[in-house]
Structure 1
């Protein structure tokens, strides 16, 4: 039986923990948070007795096989380094993996030297309906893929990383080739997930695929829902398409069939979280079962977002390979101010 521990006991961590009712290979053994009331509430809710306010103490005493890091983005590098120094076998860290060029590059260097398996928490990738649609696409049921469109109504740092991950998943993780982006608005830089209010980009890939990514109020609406409920992906092929959004889906397959349905995002999300977590244990048990949200893949995806920022700043298309400046986010803010 594997042992799992949690760093951060806020609302998002609840989602990580609820998935354990679908996980049989690990037990939640310890939690850590600086806020003792959150620590108590979380521990009482999930029946976890071992509670800490010092991450070093928890990792030293409990020696978990998996550490869930569910904290704000500006702590990513610091806390991933702590996990590395304590030789934690695997880590699931919340998205986004980074904020700007400096932490992106530092985390990349950490990943190169660390034995810890780092996985970024893009649980949408494991939603049951998305897995079904992904299987349809990969088995050729819409013909040859020609174009991918993804969007979300929160900003690029808030939800753009989720839809970027879906874009890469449906494109078989082909490397990006060019990015041409635009952005506007500076209110988002005042938040815990700092970036422009609205962003969009046209992206080409080495396999010949093209894609459009849109984030912010300029993104398509899928109904009368809060802003965070508008994540979606559409994939167009030579003989059909698939379209997924948070409460529904549709597909038109090459044999001429058309289907459309509704679903519960909340129900699918806990199953998606369980799927992502179980895939971590698969990787722990078998080195050949690489996790699709492992660090190198997630950093490639995030470099695409940084390239959007660069395109806005330089007012031209960005060609890959791309080495972002340490302060590219600050440059973006200055360009939009």
Structure 2
């Protein structure tokens, strides 16, 4: 399967069919990064809901929603949408508001796109899975990292004929893990829950299911290093670099095959080191490799007013919303951002909550 398929997009008003959509949430993240994706998706935004009525009306004016609500159940009953988008926050006890909201939406007959995190426990994910099967409605989580063009291309490189099997993977991401005594408290684990979905999604997308894992934790900054054995046989590590400089690029991903490897820096700079012969040792006068085996560099330009150098595309927001909408319109099953993918990430989250450092846990 080819994951990265460049294509020319339609604008919202050019679609022959659009999905009747409602939106729950009118906060800053939704305003900046999710509502604007509808300019390129088959979405007819008819209503939105937020507990703050003035904020709801302000966002509705900007993005063309016809009506606003402060009660999401009233909106679902009145509007009867095809799809519901949910971008909300946390409950006072640290649970994810969107989990229950997604349940209400599918019971009302709508498919759901929800921002991560999907839930705060494996059990809650399993409840959503059962509800999705019962209602026949799909629930997608916004795992944007798996829609980065550079990460999608990594997946294609891994699947390519010259890469060989994936043998190891390394993911770096700046996130602290709270002290052991705080990990039972969801509010103290909020940042970790919010962000483990990013490197966790990349690991699952590129390397598949985890077989076992062990980690070491550093108390000054909360950094950690985790080692993995994947069911595919590959090994890997995740370095959560809580102490890194805040002005630096956030992340790095490296995948290694058999005589080939590839690296994504800063989410958008990809180098593919293709299989090649080492120049004659002790005699070669140049490091320049033949063109058919030389490394390939992919990097966007940021001069033209193109879609691809807009962060809604480089950060995967438009591609993930398009995948959801096009899947619903075609009456097919989601292939990314699935509850199964969220289930594995939640198992990883619970691993850190319940396992002591230095102990190997099976998944």
Q: Deviations over 1:15-61 (max 9, x none)?
A: 111111221x2222211100123212311221222111110111112
Greater mean deviation of Cα atoms: 101-110 or 278-287? 101-110
Q: TM-score, normalised by structure 1?
A: 0.79
1:5 counterpart (19, 22, 28): 22
Matched, 1:29 2:29: no
Shift of 1:120: 0.7
Aligned to 2:38: 20
Correspondences of 1:210-221 after superposition (within 5 Å): 210-218=235-243
Matched, 1:316 2:359: yes
Aligned to 1:277: 321
1:177 counterpart (202, 208, 211): 211
Aligned to 1:207: 232
Q: How many residues align?
A: 301
Greater mean deviation of Cα atoms: 68-77 or 256-265? 256-265
Structure 1 residues 102 and 241, CA gap change in structure 2 (3 angstroms): same
Bigger Rg, structure 1 or 2: 2
Shift of 1:185: 5.4
For the 8 Å contact 1:163–1:232, the answer to whether it is kept is: no
- Other structure's SS at 1:282 match: helix
- Other structure's SS at 2:81 match: coil
Shift of 1:241: 1.7
Matched, 1:116 2:137: yes
- Other structure's SS at 2:156 match: helix
Structure 1 residues 93 and 164, CA gap change in structure 2 (3 angstroms): same
Structure 1 residues 55 and 317, CA gap change in structure 2 (3 angstroms): same
Structure 1, gaps ≥5 residues long: 188-196, 321-337
- Other structure's SS at 2:310 match: helix
| Cα separation, 1, equivalents of 2:195 and 2:241 | 9
Compare the two structures and name the one with the higher strand fraction.
1
Correspondences of 1:279-294 after superposition (within 5 Å): 279-294=323-338
Structure 2, gaps ≥5 residues long: 1-17, 177-191, 277-292, 303-307
Correspondences of 1:44-83 after superposition (within 5 Å): 44-73=61-90, 74=95, 75-83=97-105
| Cα separation, 2, equivalents of 1:268 and 1:136 | 23
Shift of 1:143: 2.9
- Other structure's SS at 1:113 match: helix
Structure 1 residues 100 and 232, CA gap change in structure 2 (3 angstroms): same
Shift of 1:238: 1.5
Shift of 1:178: 0.6
Q: After the TM superposition, which segments of 4 or more aligned residues of structure 1 sit over 4 Å from their partners?
A: 184-187
Aligned to 2:108: 86
| Cα separation, 2, equivalents of 1:139 and 1:107 | 35
- Other structure's SS at 2:335 match: coil
Q: TM-score, normalised by structure 2?
A: 0.74
